[in-house]
Amino acid sequence: TTRDPQTVRQTLHAVMDDSWRTYERYTAPLGVGFMVSPGTHYGPDVDGYEYSPWGTYHFADRDGVGVDRTRATGTGYTGQYPSPWAEIYESLERCPDELLLFFHHVPYSHKLHSGSTVIQHIYDTHFAGVDEVVEMRRRWHELAGLIDPAVDARVRELLDEQLRCAVEWRDQINTYFFRKSGVPDAHGRRIY
């Protein structure tokens, strides 16, 4: 029980409702696939599966990123979908941005439907993911005194860990793609 259930409910929705999208932003934007540590699947390892028998998930090189799964020039995987999805996923112009790198290998300069380039989107989403975790923590801290102290302390620990992980993902992924592409962040943010 809480002293202000409406405030608690609203804050929980604000923190949880988009948390999956926040996680996706700092781990796997544009459907790029696994960039996790083999075995545990926890923590970033951009090339963790890239050279393993389990396959390659991002095919990043100096020219671009993504897996060509089209029927025309790739693995043919898009052909496994029924119409109209097969045609949508096959088409670079019609493929939804959130699945682009799962179905297509594109240059870092490729323009998304949003108008951003692929490389800038990678940078932006990883910085945004960290900012969103910071905001989640801030919102949770507003509930101080309204939540059972033991629950409050545990959630604070978990959010602190999520922030640590989000920063680690941001720094490793952005650094990797900056070094692969040679394209700097348009906003001049720190990338190692």
DSSP label of 65: E
Average pLDDT, the chain: 92
The type of residue at 32 is: V
Q: What superfamily does domain 5-32+109-181 belong to in CATH?
A: Alpha-glucuronidase, C-terminal domain (3.90.1330.10)
**Least reliable range by pLDDT among 17-21, 148-152, 177-181:** 17-21
Cα gap 133→154, rounded to integer Å: 16
Residue 142 confidence (pLDDT) above 90: yes
Side chain identity at residue 185, one-letter code:
D
**HSE-up of residue 117 (Cα within 13 Å, Cβ side):** 15
The token pair at 167 is: 């920063």
Instruction: Look up tokens 């348009």; give the residue.
Output: 186
Strand-pairing partners, residue 70, are: none
Give which of 48, 52, 53 is closest to 27, Cα–Cα: 48
Instruction: Report pLDDT for 156.
Output: 96
Q: Helix, strand, or coil here: 106?
A: strand
Q: How confident is the model at residue 101 (pLDDT cuts 50, 70, 90)?
A: very high
| Range scoring the smallest mean pLDDT among 2-16, 26-40, 117-131, 177-191 | 26-40
Model confidence, pTM: 0.91
**pLDDT tens-digit profile of 76-92?**
999 999 999 999 999 99
* Predicted local confidence at residue 172, as pLDDT: 94
Which whole number is the average pLDDT over 154-174?
Answer: 95
Confidence label for 56 from pLDDT (cuts 50, 70 and 90)? low
Give the start-to-end residue ranges of the domains of the chain: 5-32+109-181
pLDDT at 35: 81
The encoded tokens of residue 14 equal 């604000």
